[in-house]
Every structure is written in C-alpha cells, then in structure tokens.
Structure 1
Amino acid sequence: MMKFTPEKYSITDERMKPFIDPAEIWGYLNNTISSKERVREIIAKSLAKQRLNLEEVACLVNANSPELIEEIKEGAKTLKRTIYGNRIVLFAPLYIGNKCTNDCLYCGFRISNKDAIRKTLTDEELVKEIESLEDKGQKRLILVYGEHPEYSPEYIAHTVKIAYGVKKGKGEIRRVNINAAPLDVEGFKVVKAAGIGTYQIFQETYHPEAYQIYHQHGRKADYGYRLTALDRAQEAGIDDVGIGALFGLYDWRFEVLALVRHTNHLEACYNVGPHTISFPRVKDASGQNLKTGYFVSDTDFTKLVAILRLSVPYTGMILTAREPARLRDEIIQFGVSQIDGGTNIEIGSYAESTAKKNLNRGQFQINDDRPLNEIIDELLDQNMIPSFCTACYRLGRTGEHFMEFSVPGFIKRYCTPNAILTLAEYLIDYAPEHTADKGWKVINSTIDKIDDEKMKRSIYEKISQLKSGKRDLYY
C-alpha cells in the first residue's frame, strides 16, 4: 500500500499533542519476554483489581503457549465475575444518518461509495424507530452519525432530546450514548447539555502511518485531531467517554497496547479512564475491497479480549453484533460486559419490520441479527442477568465518581441488584411466557447467592413494587 499524507486544516487545537509513540509500543512488544512465572504474577495483579502497565500487557500479549493463554482467559473470566457478577448490559445502536465527508477505505459510509443509499432520519421517522425499539423492551440506545456538516452538535443534541421524549406504552429510553465525529470543546458542551451518557470515538488504528493509509480525505484524515478528541470532551465536562480500535487495520498486538496507553493518558490527565473499550473487527461493507494483511483470527480475538479485560479491570467492554452469535456467546465469558441485541444498522430498519437486508443501507455487515428476546433467552440459559441498567449515569456515578466505586470492585453491589430490577421489568412488560419462567428462576437463584440479607429483602420489596405497577426502581 502506498502512504498518504493527511490533509491540513486551519482549525487545530495546538494545546493538545498526540500521545502515541509507536517506537515505545514496539519496544515493549519486541523486548518483553513471557515466562510462566511472570504471566502468573501479572494475572494475580489484575485479580487484585490493579490496572496493568504497558510492559505487563506486552508480557500477556507475547504469551503464546496454550497453557498460558488458557490461564489468561480463566483469569479474565474470574475477574469479570468478581467485578461485574453475572450481568450483561444490553443496548441497541440507532443510526441517525449516513451522510459523510470522509473517505475511510473500510466503511460503507465513505464519500466515494456511490452505491451507498444516503439517508438522514426525519424527526417523525426517528420517533417511529424509537417506538419500535421501546416495543421490544430496549432502554439504552447509542445514536450513530456519519461525519457531515448536517450532523452538527446542535443537531445531535436535538435528536438526543427527541429520543428521551418518546414514551410508548410502558417504554422509555433512559440513556442515550453517542457515537459521532470529534467536536471542539464548545461543540461537546452543546451535546453534554442534552443529557447524554457516554461519548464514543474510536481511533480505528493507533498507528499513525497505517492511519494515513485508510483515511485519505475529510476531517478524519487528521490523526492528531481525532486522537485528542476525548481530551476536548473531558474539558467540556463529558467525563464518560468510550475508546476503541477497529481490529484488522494494523497489528492487533500494537492496538491492544495503544488502547492501554490511551487509558493511561486519560487517567493521568483527567483522573478517569474510559468508561468503555470497544474492539470491533473489520467486516464487509458496501463497495469495500479491503485487503490489509492484518485480519485477526477468532483465536487471537478471544485472547486479546481476555488481555484487555485483565489490563483495565474497571472498564466496561463492548462486543457488537459484527461478530456471529456463536463467537459472541463464547467471548462474553472472558470479560465482555455490554452487547447490543436485536441490532439493525440500516437507516430506518427498526420500524420496517419486513425490510430486506441491503448492505448499501448500512455501515458494514452484521453477523448476529438475533431478536432481542432470543438473546435474552440464551443469556438466561447461561445463568446470566440481562441488564438495562442506567442507574450510574443518573446518580452521578460517572467519571471520577465511577472510578471510586468501580476500581476497588464495589460497583458489583450496585450492578447486580440493578440488573435484577431491570430484568424484572422486562419480564413483566415484554417477555413471552417461556422467557419469563426462565428469567424468574435466574433472578431468584441470583438473589439467593447475595450475602447481605438486608439487600435481599430490599430487592424482593422492589420487585413487588414493580409487579404492582411501579417502574424505574434502582440503587
């Protein structure tokens, strides 16, 4: 592949400089030896709920024996149970518009893709989409936008307010997260005022030269502007941010260390790390013909998820419907805390229940299109608690406050009871009988395992209130 130089823009934030040093990262990867004793020491450190440094992460990455990889996975599984219990948070992505001025080679939204069917939801269409999601029991959304002048901070705030205002039957959206383009500080302030949850921005690849290859035109071609976007979000008061890399664009080992390096940067500058880390893999997209040489196998993908779980114990980890159901069911065990369910990424597809799949209407191909209730059913079969909880956001447990609770692992005392209550709501309002029967058995067995008798009584009391018609109860 030839190299491209990113376009230069007159508007840049000179206060912030890129903080990724490829030589530093490759230095750790090339010079760290993984002995059995060292790997086990690092796993023990993580299980003590201490975040790992780059040398320790490199040691896990370089561990190649089947025995050590299995110990890494088991450590990640244990850590997840210790911090988050048996709950999995569910959400739905809702694509607002796919107009875009960028030309990212891996993306169906790119400006050069003439096959893409461009559309932005009208306010009326947006309401219908949200009503359809509420009819299925969804409570948490992530709104997704292309990068285009039409999708200004004011427009994003407008759509967020619409989402919160839609109430159908017993349905409501309690938390709206955002996946959109980087903004300046003032733009982030506008979006924050709408009451958003997490603002996600993925770097795609943290390697500067690789980044230039894939991002040839548009604002996104500016590597540094994107890399420091969440610094501007923090300065605007958005203390709940999500990072991610698109695996398959560059060496997965480098991206794992770079994600941890980004975490270090946010902690050092703002005393709070990312609320979530995402790790999507490159998938087919409309008009795409991308051959990178960096495809990540299922085996390596499972390993990197486990390593990320151990590396940053307190951070939520998101696994999306890009991955097939079989693989999602497996990888959930090794540290994932959030998944999307009942996913449609084609613009306007939730309200079009009989719409035929058309890759030209979406950003990429999804591989898990199971309905929400089917996913909930299968989670219950694994004795997991599907959760729609939004309590932390609304009680101010974000940013530094979230770190205070989650880093020591105390968040479990809130996560499990709140997950139970949101599942109980779903079972009462939306679940078919066979799912409800399963769900109540899992709820009762989970409550039985809680040591705090006072908390047990409190949960049962709140469930009684839900059965009597009250809603949105939480700790």
Structure 2
Amino acid sequence: MFSELLKKYSWLDSQRAIATKTARDVEMALARTDRTLADFQALISPAAAPYLEEMARQSHHLTQQRFGKTMQMYAPLYLSNECQNICTYCAFSVDNKIRRRTLADDEMLREADALKAMGYQHVLLVTGEANQTVGVPYLKNAIRLLRSRFAHISMEVQPLDQDAYEELIPEGLHTVLVYQETYDRDSYKIHHPKGKKASYRYRVETPDRLGRAGIHKLGLGTLLGLSDWRTDSFFTALHLHYLERTYWQTRYSLSFPRLRPIDVLGVEGITSRNFSNCLTDRELAQLICAYRLFSPEVELSLSTRESPTFRDHVIRLGITSISAGSKTNPGGYVVELQSLEQFEISDERSPAEMAAVLRRAGYEPVWKDWDSSLMTVHP
C-alpha cells in the first residue's frame, strides 16, 4: 500500500530537498532521459525557473512523440451538490447553508443530451460526498442510464471500497479521478475537519483499491494552494511512480486544479476567499513540463479553472486532455442553470470555440478515444 511507502518520506525533509536544488541539479535532470524522483525535485525547484524554455522544448517534443497533435475533449456532468464533509475551500461543504440538489433520471438524461449536442463522447460524472444520497446504487444507475450515450464515462465522487469499484467497472465505468487535495497531513487536517473525508489514510489508499479492482484509468492530483505546491507535487509524483510500477496495466492521468475563489452573493456562510499558497502561471507551466519530463506516458489534463490566455499557451507544453463549456453545478447545462457552482470557472468558451482554437494551433480535437465495444458491459 502506498500509505506504507509514505511513512518513509518526511514532508519537511522533502520540502528542504526541493528548496536546496542547484542549477547543476537541474542541468543534470534535463540531460537525462530516464529521470528519477530526485530529478523531478530539481525540475520543480526554484533553481529550475531560468530553464523553463528548455523544459518547455523537451516537454513539447515528448508529448508530440507519444500523443501526436491531438487533444482529448471532455466535460463534467455534475449530478449532485449534496455532501457530508466540511472542506474549507468548497462551496458544497456541509456547513454552507445552500439548497442541495441531486438530479433525477430524466434530468441526468437532459443534461447528457445537451452535452451530446455539443459533440462530447467523454463525460466526467461529479458529485459531492454523500453516501446515503449518491452512493453506489445511485452511481450504478447513473452509469447504466448514460453508457449508451457516451463512449467514455469517468467519475469524480467520494472514495469507495474496492468491492464497490468492482461493482461499477463492469457497468461501464472507465476512469476514476481521486484527488488527495494535499499530502501535507497537518494541512489536510485543517481543511477537512469533519466527515468521512477527514480520514487521510482512507483517501490516500483509494488509488490502491482502484488498482486492485482493475480500473482502466486512474487520475491523480492535489488542490494546488492548500499547502506548498512544490512539495505536494513531489508527493503526487511519488504516488504516480508507485502506482505505475504496482498496477502497470492501468493508465494514469494528472490534473492541475488551482484553488478558485468562492463568491456567492446572498448565501450565508460563503464569502470570497483569497489563497496565498497558489502558484503563478509561470510556476504552473514549469510544473506541467516537469511532470511530462518525469513521466512521458502520463496524460495531463487542464480544466476551465484556468484563463483562456493561459490555456491557449500551455496546450503546446504537454497537455493532452482539456475541458470546455463546463458547468460546475448540478443541472447547469439545461436543467437548473442558476444552481450553486462548486467553484468559479475562468474559461467560458464553448466546446466549438475551444475546438477552433485547437485547430488553429495545429491540433485535432478528439471527442472519443476508445470504443465501448471493447469493454464487457452487463446487459
């Protein structure tokens, strides 16, 4: 289990190792092709900042070599904002006095049809963490309803037990995203004081349960800004390194969610929040390149949290998957446009507009990257 390996690593020692990397360490990392975790530390260190142009050049080359000039398109479909956890950074947190909303079957299908009309074949199902309301029976039903409409169904919901994943995968579940939020135990405890999510160990062991269950693809990431982004990114790389070697038949993706402000007027308990730990655009570009140089096979995904200008520039650096036209509220496409968003998006361009941007940059938008007939699905 990764939790056992994690015991061998100190947060403070890792933070110190990154901070003390030198220009020579960076140059040695750039000269290698089979890079180590120590090389990754060098590439995300302050010492690597002057080398960003060379990192970008190598990252672009590796991405073109492995993925070609294609970009996977996906969209989130928020099914529910009900949640039993307190998370200090999330609008869906149970202590926020908002109207809760969970989509019924006909509403899911209306949302799905809206996404299909935009051209999507890849959908990401998202809920809050409420086992009684949106537990395994609800998720199984949602996958059964939607699998005939989409070639690829992903899920970002509460962590589940291994047997639950083994129940959902044959129904058509292809990918699960599970973000640790932060690997810093002290920060994790501060930001997750109540609910099942308060268990650091249960969350950090979720990818192991998914690997043993045989998931096709698994997504990792941290919420950049909760703690020191460099150290969190190192522990994400450590986790990826472990998983790639332990569950080698599974594919992997990484996401880069930066904290976004919550600003919902007239809703008690939710106010604008500024996050001092967030990385700059240049630092995020450095991080994207560092991950590509460390793991040429991993898929790198960027959401509409980021600005149009930033997204247009970094798609060439190593990104292989991108969303567009996203709504982060249940029913946000057609059912209930004004329900509460989980966070504010920054890039509001439609899928057609984003596809046009990609084509002008020489990339081909890919709406479907595998065929559902290749997966055994129960009738």
The 8 Å contact of residues 174 and 216 in structure 2, kept in 1 or not, is answered as no
Paired position in structure 1 for 2:84: 101
Alignment partner of 1:129 out of 100, 111, 135: 111
- What is the deviation of 1:309? 1.5
2-structure distance, mates of 1:265, 1:336: 22
TM-score, L = length of structure 2: 0.90
- What is the deviation of 1:312? 1.3
Q: Where do residues 247-266 of structure 1 align in structure 2 (5 Å cutoff)?
A: 247-266=224-243
User: 2:3 matched to 1:17?
Assistant: yes
Paired position in structure 1 for 2:312: 329
Paired position in structure 2 for 1:363: 342
The 8 Å contact of residues 164 and 173 in structure 1, kept in 2 or not, is answered as yes
The 8 Å contact of residues 266 and 274 in structure 1, kept in 2 or not, is answered as no
User: Structure 1: which amino acid aligns with 2:15?
Assistant: W
Paired position in structure 1 for 2:214: 237
Q: Percent identity?
A: 27
1-structure distance, mates of 2:225, 2:44: 16
Q: Which runs of 5+ in 2 are unaligned?
A: 265-269
Alignment partner of 1:28 out of 17, 35, 38: 17
Paired position in structure 2 for 1:142: 124
User: Structure 2: which amino acid aligns with 1:127?
Assistant: L
- Indicate the structure whose relative CO is greater, using CA pairs within 8 Å and at least 6 residues apart: 2
The 8 Å contact of residues 154 and 191 in structure 1, kept in 2 or not, is answered as no
Q: Where do residues 109-258 of structure 1 align in structure 2 (5 Å cutoff)?
A: 109-114=92-97, 116-148=98-130, 149-165=132-148, 172-258=149-235
Aligned residues: 365
Paired position in structure 2 for 1:457: none
Counterparts in 2 of 1:82 and 1:288: CA distance versus 1, 3 Å: farther
User: Structure 2: which amino acid aligns with 1:26?
Assistant: Q
The 8 Å contact of residues 76 and 335 in structure 1, kept in 2 or not, is answered as yes
Q: Could you give the per-residue CA deviations for residues 331-365 of structure 1, whole angstroms, max 9, x where no partner exists?
A: 11111100011211221121259x4xx5x611100
Q: Could you give the per-residue CA deviations for residues 178-236 of structure 1, whole angstroms, max 9, x where no partner exists?
A: 10111111111111121111111000111111111111100001111100011011122
User: Structure 2: which amino acid aligns with 1:367?
Assistant: S
2-structure distance, mates of 1:137, 1:316: 21
The 8 Å contact of residues 18 and 227 in structure 1, kept in 2 or not, is answered as no
Paired position in structure 1 for 2:360: 381
The 8 Å contact of residues 151 and 370 in structure 2, kept in 1 or not, is answered as no
The 8 Å contact of residues 85 and 195 in structure 2, kept in 1 or not, is answered as yes
User: 2:326 matched to 1:343?
Assistant: yes
2-structure distance, mates of 1:16, 1:307: 22
Paired position in structure 1 for 2:267: none
- What is the deviation of 1:58? 1.1
TM-score, L = length of structure 1: 0.73
Paired position in structure 2 for 1:45: 32
2-structure distance, mates of 1:111, 1:377: 40
Q: Could you give the per-residue CA deviations for residues 62-100 of structure 1, whole angstroms, max 9, x where no partner exists?
A: 253654121112211111111111111001100000100
Q: Could you give the per-residue CA deviations for residues 410-469 of structure 1, whole angstroms, max 9, x where no partner exists?
A: xxxxxxxxxxxxxxxxxxxxxxxxxxxxxxxxxxxxxxxxxxxxxxxxxxxxxxxxxxxx
User: Structure 2: which amino acid aligns with 1:82?
Assistant: Q
Q: Which runs of 5+ in 1 are unaligned?
A: 1-14, 166-171, 397-475
The structure having more radius of gyration, on CA atoms, is 1
Paired position in structure 2 for 1:440: none
The 8 Å contact of residues 90 and 386 in structure 1, kept in 2 or not, is answered as yes
The 8 Å contact of residues 151 and 371 in structure 2, kept in 1 or not, is answered as no
The 8 Å contact of residues 92 and 140 in structure 1, kept in 2 or not, is answered as yes
- What is the deviation of 1:292? 4.3
Aligned CA-pair RMSD: 2.1
